[in-house]
Amino acid sequence: MAQSTGIILAIGALTLTNEVVFAPLAGQKVSVNWRILPATAGLALALAGLERIAPEFAVGLAWLGLVTAIAIPFGNAPTPLQNATKILGYATPVVAGQGK
């Protein structure tokens, strides 16, 4: 298994878990985007092929993809970062002039 494959599988698992578990916990109804599974497999195969040519670049690109998957919404739900802050209670708005 290529070094980038585990990172790519983590991206797919994080995105799918975000839609199946985190979004409902945050109080949102979303339909699960099952195209995440073949997209993850395709990306893993593509980066495994790229890793034969430029190993460090492929692994760096995989890590960049993981950071991007945490901060930018790819499925039907908000980002994992937004859902986590909402679940933990950090996303409550502060009324101007009242503080917290």
Domain ranges in the chain are 3-87
Q: Which residue has the tokens 């995440």?
A: 36
Whole-model pTM: value is 0.81
Q: Phi and psi dihedrals of 15, rounded to 5?
A: -65, -45
Helix, coil or strand: residue 53: helix
End-to-end Cα distance, the chain: 50
Q: Provide the CB-side half-sphere exposure for 54 (13 A, CA).
A: 6
pLDDT digits (tens, 9 = 90+) for 70-94: 999 877 888 888 888 888 888 766 5
Q: Phi and psi dihedrals of 89, rounded to 5?
A: 90, 10
Q: What are the tokens at 80?
A: 């994992």
pLDDT digits (tens, 9 = 90+) for 28-64: 888 888 899 999 999 999 999 999 999 999 999 999 9
